Amino acid sequence: MKHLFVPLLLLIGLSAVAQQSPAKFSLDVRYLLSLPDGYDADSTRKWPLLIFLHGSGESGIDLDKVKVHGPPKLVEAGKKFPLIIVSPQSDFGGWDAGILQRLILDLKTHYRVDADRVYMTGLSMGGYGTWEYASRFAGDLAAIVPICGGGRPEDAWKMRYLPTWCFHGGKDNVVLPSQSADMINALKPFQPGVKFTVYPDAGHDSWTEAYNSDSLWTWLLAQRRHEFKPATVAPATLAKYAGVYVRSGRDTVVITPAENALQLQAGRGKELLKPASETVFYWMDKAPVDIIFNKEGFLFRGWQLEQYKKVK
């Protein structure tokens, strides 16, 4: 018993004097930066920003590797673009959407970025990274151009307000064309105007032809971030939507009128629904969630439509 008691006292003594101090781990993100001609001539003008995500072969700590494909290659060859181009390098063989968002926030702080014209594109691993970022932070972007990548079709609804042009090689045996096709097919019901170009004779390298297309750049620069501006709805219209709604006899929500809005309550949770029109209301999650009123009640639009019926 004596041998057990002494170590216990020592442990108690150690814990009494143990201390913790603040510390921090910083992550450096290397990137290539290309500023457009005229950037320094007007200190008030804001410029579109393009984030380019490279493929797995360009990962590492040598930034020159990022210049071998895509927009950095074109810039290196002397092509001029009327936008800021930032090409980060991944040193761990993947893209982290959270880190990329922090990078974009930092760029907006240090450069004159037009927040309504932030674009993202990537090839192969970068195509996957582009889809992933859009599935998490669609509201940050004005348009995406994923090339020979893929994503989760169940997340496509989150990108329904995000203009998209996807490219793939018909003979790609590294990332199968079905990876892009699955995303486009999932997105079409929400965004009928989504663009999908398949180069029938191209293998994995479908990006060279895509980035050399002037029509791609013309289209991209014409895109702006979707503006969620509430419409004005008459109080009488709001009042008729008040009531209790049930889905599948289980989930119950209560809707009450508010000032040019509707209050939705599910259990203890509440969301303020803003009107997009007299029949469509939304709230902002990581992506906008839609409530579409119809004769039976309303449709909740997540990755699929779910009917809630009005019971009273």
Structure confidence at residue 198 (pLDDT)? 98
Structure confidence at residue 305 (pLDDT)? 77
**Separation CA 254–CA 244 (nearest Å):** 5
Structure confidence at residue 9 (pLDDT)? 42
**In the block, which residue shows the tokens 């004097």?**
17
| pLDDT lower than 50: segments of the chain | 1-12
Q: Are 16 and 84 in contact (CB under 8 A)?
A: no
**Could you read off the pLDDT of 271-295 as tens digits, one per residue?**
999 998 899 998 876 567 789 999 9
**Separation CA 87–CA 54 (nearest Å):** 8
Structure confidence at residue 49 (pLDDT)? 98
Structure confidence at residue 11 (pLDDT)? 45
Domains of the chain, residue spans: 31-221, 235-310
Q: Are 184 and 165 in contact (CB under 8 A)?
A: no
**Separation CA 163–CA 257 (nearest Å):** 33
Q: Are 274 and 282 in contact (CB under 8 A)?
A: yes
Q: How many angstroms from the chain centroid is the CA of residue 200?
A: 28
Structure confidence at residue 158 (pLDDT)? 87
CATH of range 235-310; options 2.60.40, 2.40.128, 3.20.20, 3.40.50: 2.40.128
Nearest to 31 by CA among 95, 102, 89: 89
The superfamily in CATH containing domain 31-221 is Alpha/Beta hydrolase fold, catalytic domain (3.40.50.1820)
Sheet order of strands, 143-147 included:
31-34, 84-88, 47-53, 113-123, 143-147, 165-169, 195-199
Structure confidence at residue 302 (pLDDT)? 65
**What pairs with residue 253 in β-bridges?**
245
Structure confidence at residue 312 (pLDDT)? 73
**What pairs with residue 77 in β-bridges?**
none
